[in-house]
Amino acid sequence: MADNVCSETTFNKIYAQWGKPIYNFIYFKCGNEDQANDLVQEAFIKLWQHCTKVTQDKAKSFLYTVANNLFLNEVAHRKVVLKHAQLQPRKVDGQSPEYLLEEKQYQQKLQNAIANLTEAQRTAFLLNRIEGKKYTEIADILDISIKAVEKRMSQALAALRKEIEEL
Amino acid sequence: MDIDTLLHKYLNGEATVEEISQLKAHPEFASYLKIAEATRKFEAPNFMDAENLTAIQNSIKKQPKVRSINSLQRFMRIAALFAVVIATYVFVSNRDTKIVTQIAEHETFELPDHSEVTLNAMSKITFNKKDWKKERALTLEGEAFFKVEKGEKFQVNTPQGSVAVLGTQFNVYVRGHQFYVQCYEGLVSVNFNGNDIKVPAGSYAQIENNQLLALTKAEGTAPSWVDFESSFSEASLEAVLNELERQYPITVKNKTIAENKFTGSFTHKNLEVALRSICEPLQLEFKIDDDEVMLYAKNSN
């Protein structure tokens, strides 16, 4: 029983580690900030309620599963609007205004294209690209095979490329 | 290596520099890489880190934790409940049935095999309903009249010995050191102190202090007490009065006033009549004072 998540210290540690990833996971799916924040709260409250039977190493998969189930119960989906990471260092300073404009346009297109992906493709793709998760971890979270993750990644890339380059 | 595999390797962060340049050489995959890299710079907006934590903490303070019991504990609880139920059932169903009569009380009842037992006053029968099919056996203290259904051996155990029959009618009297068996039908076998005697229909065996006193002829089809009358033949006054005390809620003083033997009977229905039946043949008189009876010799003043 010492291994469960009932102590407040342990619980807070788990929130610090998994609060944001769970938020991202929900946001990638639905694009609704309020909903994502709400579901993070609900998922952690559920974790607390069931803390006696969830060990620390099971907490992550418990949270993803609960968040996903809660998400499926909700209907409000919005357009996924990502923002630019604030702390992304500029590699090269003093780039030409043309280049900067072009890059901005590219990002805008990419942004729209991501929003137009199917939920399944987008979630897998963003978990990998933004969250930096490996395929095995994504397969685990989404409860699908690694082959299915590969397929979603390939489809997502193909769909994004098509939209960015042909429009 | 297949180029798609290389792409996935790259996306998993496992591609080598050469593999990346191999991908970049391919126009389609070069643009995939560009997309993949550009996407990495995005992030989801507005994660309310601190606000969420506060909301969670406020909420969990209000809510009690769900007490979970693991499946073994749950199983043990259910098992314990069943154990109690089964133990109770076994205990109840294995308990002996006891039938007890008080002073002036008769009780007629059927045993599980429909054999009939009439229990005289101040007597007790114990038997086990569940074991009855396997073994027709009961324990008797006092006096009882049995009408036994035909079947396997039927045994009456008493502190003085046992009576075994197959199917018959008989009376067993076992009080103090006295052990009397009267057979009305069939044949009974009486076992006492290692001896075994057969008592045929119309016979009366009197055993006292583990000794067979007499095996005499006796008439009738049922003991008289069944019809609310106690009969005696050459009985001591004390034995007669003891029986009287069992049939009426009284105490008899000076039970040993006469040494004459008593042959006759008394009714269970009227104390005065009963006392007269006992006293007259023995030249005694009696006085009833509430629940006490005093005996004295006639003309003794």
Which pLDDT value is given to residue B186? Answer: 83
Mean pLDDT of B253-279: 85
Of B165, B171, B176, the C-alpha closest to B222 is B171
**How high is the pLDDT of residue A1?**
45
Strand partners, A122: none
**How would you classify residue B276: left for phi > 0, otherwise alpha for psi between -120 and 50, otherwise beta?**
alpha
Is the confidence at residue A77, as pLDDT, over 80? no
Q: What sign does the CA torsion over A119, A125, A131, A137 have? A: positive
Q: What is the pTM of this model?
A: 0.46
Measured distance CA(B263)–CA(B236) in Å, rounded: 9
> What CATH topology corresponds to A8-87?
Rna Polymerase Sigma Factor; Chain: A (1.10.1740)
Nearest to B52 among A41, A126, A157 (CB): A41
pLDDT tens-digit readout, B89-105: 888 777 788 888 888 88
> What would the pLDDT profile of A105-120 be if each residue is shown by its tens digit?
888 888 889 988 888 8
| Least CB–CB distance from A53: residue in B28, B44, B68 | B68
What mean pLDDT value characterizes chain B? 85
What's the CATH architecture for B228-297?
Answer: 3-Layer(bab) Sandwich (3.55)
Q: What local confidence, expressed as pLDDT, does residue B139 receive?
A: 92
CATH T-level fold of B97-217: Jelly Rolls (2.60.120)
Query: Residues B99, B119: contact at Cβ < 8 Å?
Result: yes
Residue B47 to residue A129, Cβ atoms within 8 A:
no
Chain B contact set for A157 (CB, 8 A): 7, 32, 35-36
- Which chain A positions have a beta carbon within 8 Å of B73's beta carbon? none
Closest chain B residue to the Cα of A50, Cα to Cα: B66
Q: What CA–CA distances, in Å, run from A41 to A28, A35, B15? A: 17, 10, 37
**Which residue do the tokens 């006796």 mark?**
B218
The confidence score (pLDDT) of residue A87 equals: 41
B196-220 pLDDT, tens digit each? 888 888 888 888 888 888 888 877 7
Domain ranges of chain A: 8-87, 97-165
Contact A6 B65 (CB under 8 A): yes
ipTM of this complex prediction, to 2 decimal places: 0.77
Return the CATH class of domain A97-165.
Answer: mainly alpha
- Please state the domain extents for chain B: 3-93, 97-217, 228-297
